[in-house]
């Protein structure tokens, strides 16, 4: 990707620390617990033919996941919706993948107490990408049932969307093998 294409808004727009920027320029601090501990939640909605799919429902589920992880943000539901809408507007896309994320944040120096972290909100919109290509969507796909076990619900409430995807990733590798 060249510097010129990296700044093409149609490749994605992010919202970080109150500012909009090209997705390729977005970053989070290396010490954010969302990065170093997967201590984060997220939700994804889509824009199809210029319209959001159940945006309010996705924001509600995002807030429920945040509550389950004891996170909070100073943004209202309407403000979150405005950020997501603005990310899409700035891309000019009619079909988009739109993600909102809340991380635990960076712990204050000298502590690991998660209660002392300031939770952070990130969002981005990028072109919609299908999981299956055109041919697969028309003709169907082969399926493999992975032997990789998911985290048991006694360990983590499966209704909380989280960044732990290693079991899923290893299952994908197993399917490709």
The CATH number given to whatever domain includes residue 32 is 3.30.470.10
Task: Give every strand in the sheet of 13-16, ordered side by side.
Answer: 19-22, 13-16, 120-127, 96-103, 40-48, 51-52
Could you tell me if 107 and 36 lie in one domain? yes
Q: Which residue has the higher pLDDT, 64 or 8?
A: 64
Could you tell me if 85 and 151 lie in one domain? no
The 10 Å Cβ neighbour count of residue 113 is: 9
Phi-psi group of 164: left, alpha or beta (phi > 0 → left; psi -120 to 50 → alpha; rest → beta):
beta
DSSP for residue 110 = T
Contact (Cβ atoms closer than 8 angstroms) between residue 157 and residue 68: yes
The 10 Å Cβ neighbour count of residue 17 is: 12
Could you tell me if 175 and 95 lie in one domain? no
Could you tell me if 115 and 138 lie in one domain? no
Evaluate if residue 90 carries a pLDDT over 80. yes
Query: pLDDT tens digit string along 37-52?
Result: 999 999 999 999 999 9
Could you tell me if 145 and 125 lie in one domain? no
Domain range spanning residue 159? 130-177
Contact (Cβ atoms closer than 8 angstroms) between residue 35 and residue 53: no
Q: What is the pTM of this model?
A: 0.89
């Amino acid at each position: 990707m060249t510097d010129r294409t990296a700044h093409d808004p149609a490749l994605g727009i992010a919202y970080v620390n109150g500012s909009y920027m090209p997705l390729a320029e977005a970053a989070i601090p290396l010490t954010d617990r969302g990065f170093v501990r997967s201590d984060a939640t997220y939700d994804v909605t889509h824009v199809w033919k210029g319209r959001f799919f159940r945006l309010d429902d996705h924001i509600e589920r995002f807030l429920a996941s945040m509550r389950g992880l004891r996170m909070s943000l100073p943004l209202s539901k309407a403000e979150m919706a405005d950020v997501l809408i603005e990310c899409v507007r700035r891309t000019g896309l009619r079909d988009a993948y739109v993600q909102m994320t809340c991380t635990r944040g960076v712990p204050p120096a000298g502590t690991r107490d998660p209660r002392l972290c300031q939770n952070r909100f990130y969002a981005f919109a990028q072109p919609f990408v299908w999981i299956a290509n055109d041919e697969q969507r028309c003709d169907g796909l082969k399926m493999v049932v992975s032997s990789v076990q998911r985290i048991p619900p006694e360990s983590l409430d499966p209704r909380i969307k989280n960044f732990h995807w290693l079991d899923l990733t290893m299952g994908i590798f197993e399917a490709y093998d």
